[in-house]
């Protein structure tokens, strides 16, 4: 299977394949192909920008398990955090930056990839600055505050000749890939109905996620990308229109945004997906149905929970890495080594933002909105 379709493809499997055809250890030892293999032994250096919850609890531990990349640098505005991380992860002060010195990272050859883990309103600016520094970039979701921001980021990556990945860990997760495979298989008919939802209690004042300027739209921006892309993957196509609703259960908390967003995506073949993103209530659902069968993933979107896929006849759990982020980051490193297309690309991130822009417009106008993919 080609690397682009298989995030579990490894240098080891490539070396094995080369051994099988007698290249490694033969007179062809100095061929360009073999030199490329040797080059891959160097892990790519990653610098994390923004040492908050996700960087601390998920990305740094996941980077202790990666095969093709390693935690080499940090960017933080808090000197005490810098010292703590330097000690814990053996990071040199030479690869430690703050927001004033950030652009100097361009002179640091140890850093190949910059991973933006900042609040949403900073994603576009820091991604573009990182690309202008000549680095490959992973940017967390939501990719930007709107589709126009995504377009600027994609253009910056093209101009710099660097790769861009959105931190969509589930694009590489085995249960999600199996759901996609089942949903796109013609057996049992085509998909007509889906339900995708994610929500939990985030109703606390002062958090950037519920600040309109910093978060861009509460649960819709924070959790919307998961449920939109799950529907897109299962449908095997992009929705053509959306009708959306916003609800506020606590007016003291939600100012200019909604606590709960619901919407219905329509696809060209009349398939339908009902979705919710909420900061008021717990929900976690990925349900896809055909005429006589269904598949449901439980839990659906949580990071690193033990997942199981259920259908009418069976329930199964698949082997997977301890950290979904390990697979995601290693897949990106392989894209860089092999110069292959990124699966969770900027273009994928932009499609989700085009849908989110349409959801906002539908709530504003009360009408069904055709999604603009221009």
Using CB under 6 A, pick the residue from 22, 26, 33, 77 that binds ligand NAD: 77
Contacts 24+ apart (CB under 8 A), 289-297: 289/191, 289/192, 289/193, 289/194, 290/188, 290/189, 290/190, 290/191, 290/192, 291/188, 291/189, 291/192, 292/188, 292/189, 293/188, 295/179, 295/182, 295/183, 297/175, 297/176, 297/179
Residue with tokens 């799950």: 230
Site for ligand NAD in 309-338 (CB under 6 A): none
The answer to the question of residue 167 lying near ligand NAD (CB under 6 A) is: yes
Give buried/exposed letters for 1-22 (b at 16+ CB in 10 A, else e): eebeeebbbebeebeeebeeee
CA 127 to chain CA centroid, Å, is 14
Beta strands in the chain (DSSP E): 44-49, 69-75, 96-97, 113-116, 136-139, 164-166, 193-199, 241-247, 260-266, 272-278, 283-289, 294-298, 308-310, 315-316, 369-370
Two tokens, residue 199: 């929500």
The answer to the question of residue 54 lying near ligand NAD (CB under 6 A) is: yes
Binding range to ligand NAD, per CB under 6 A, among 33-41, 52-60, 82-90, 356-364: 52-60
Q: Least CB distance from residue 113 to ligand NAD, whole Å?
A: 16
Q: Least CB distance from residue 257 to ligand NAD, whole Å?
A: 15
The answer to the question of residue 141 lying near ligand NAD (CB under 6 A) is: yes
Using CB under 6 A, pick the residue from 105, 114, 117, 350 that binds ligand NAD: 117
Bridge partners, residue 369, by sequence: 242
Using CB under 6 A, pick the residue from 62, 63, 91, 118 that binds ligand NAD: 118
- Helix, strand, coil percentages (3-state) for the chain, rounded to 5, are 40, 20, 40
Q: Least CB distance from residue 71 to ligand NAD, whole Å?
A: 15
Say whether 220 sits in a helix, a strand or coil.
helix
Two tokens, residue 347: 């273009």
Q: Least CB distance from residue 328 to ligand NAD, whole Å?
A: 9
The answer to the question of residue 299 lying near ligand NAD (CB under 6 A) is: no
Using CB under 6 A, pick the residue from 40, 195, 211, 222 that binds ligand NAD: 222
Using CB under 6 A, pick the residue from 61, 119, 236, 299 that binds ligand NAD: 119
Binding range to ligand NAD, per CB under 6 A, among 51-59, 146-154, 290-298, 334-342: 51-59
Using CB under 6 A, pick the residue from 152, 212, 303, 311 that binds ligand NAD: 303
- β pairing state of 44-49 and 69-75: parallel
Site for ligand NAD in 10-49 (CB under 6 A): none
Residue nearest to ligand NAD (CB): 52
Q: Least CB distance from residue 161 to ligand NAD, whole Å?
A: 26
**CA 56, CA 230: separation in Å to the nearest integer?**
26
Using CB under 6 A, pick the residue from 3, 96, 120, 197 that binds ligand NAD: 120
The answer to the question of residue 50 lying near ligand NAD (CB under 6 A) is: yes
The answer to the question of residue 352 lying near ligand NAD (CB under 6 A) is: no
The answer to the question of residue 339 lying near ligand NAD (CB under 6 A) is: no
**CA 148, CA 157: separation in Å to the nearest integer?**
15
Bridge partners, residue 116, by sequence: 49, 139
Binding range to ligand NAD, per CB under 6 A, among 112-120, 173-181, 236-244, 352-360: 112-120
> How many other CB atoms sit within 10 Å of the CB of residue 71?
26
The answer to the question of residue 205 lying near ligand NAD (CB under 6 A) is: no
Total residues interacting with ligand NAD, rule: CB under 6 A = 18
Q: 74 or 253, CB closer to ligand NAD?
A: 74
Two tokens, residue 26: 């033969």
Two tokens, residue 123: 């994603």
Q: Least CB distance from residue 52 to ligand NAD, whole Å?
A: 2
Q: Least CB distance from residue 363 to ligand NAD, whole Å?
A: 21
Contacts with ligand NAD by CB under 6 A lie at: 50-55, 77, 117-120, 140-141, 167, 169, 208, 222, 303
């Amino acid at each position: 299977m080609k690397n682009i379709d298989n995030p579990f493809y490894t240098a080891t499997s490539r070396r094995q394949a080369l051994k099988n055809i007698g290249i490694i250890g033969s007179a062809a030892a100095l061929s360009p192909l073999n030199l490329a293999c040797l080059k891959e032994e160097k892990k790519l250096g990653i610098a994390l920008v923004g040492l908050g919850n996700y960087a601390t609890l998920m990305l740094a531990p996941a980077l202790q398990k990666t095969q093709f990349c390693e935690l080499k640098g940090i960017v933080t505005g808090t000197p005490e955090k810098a010292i703590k991380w330097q000690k814990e992860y053996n990071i040199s002060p030479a690869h430690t930056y703050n927001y004033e010195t950030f652009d100097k990272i361009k002179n640091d050859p140890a850093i190949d990839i910059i991973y933006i883990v900042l609040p949403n309103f900073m994603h576009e600016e820091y991604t573009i600055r990182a690309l202008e520094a000549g680095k490959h970039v992973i940017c967390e979701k939501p990719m930007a505050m709107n589709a126009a921001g995504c377009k600027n980021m994609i253009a910056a990556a093209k101009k710099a000749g660097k790769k861009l990945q959105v931190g969509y860990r589930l694009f590489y997760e085995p249960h999600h890939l199996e759901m996609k495979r089942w949903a796109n298989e013609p057996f049992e008919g085509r998909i007509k109905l889906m339900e995708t939802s994610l929500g939990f209690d985030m109703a606390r004042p002062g958090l950037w996620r519920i600040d309109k300027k910093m978060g861009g739209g509460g649960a819709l921006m924070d959790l919307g990308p998961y449920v939109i892309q799950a529907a897109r993957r299962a449908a095997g196509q992009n929705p053509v229109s959306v009708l959306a609703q916003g609800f506020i259960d606590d007016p003291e908390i939600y100012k200019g945004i909604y606590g709960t967003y619901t919407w219905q995506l329509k696809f060209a073949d009349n398939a339908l997906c009902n979705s919710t993103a909420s900061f008021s209530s717990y929900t976690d659902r990925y349900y896809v149905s055909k005429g006589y069968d269904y598949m449901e993933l439980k839990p659906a979107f949580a990071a690193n929970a033990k997942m199981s896929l259920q259908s009418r006849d069976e329930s199964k759990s698949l082997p997977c890495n301890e950290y979904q982020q390990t697979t995601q980051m290693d897949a990106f490193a392989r894209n860089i080594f092999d110069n292959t297309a990124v699966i969770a690309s900027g273009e994928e991130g932009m499609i989700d933002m085009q849908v989110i822009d349409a959801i906002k417009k539908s709530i504003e106008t009360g009408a069904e909105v055709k999604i603009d993919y221009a």
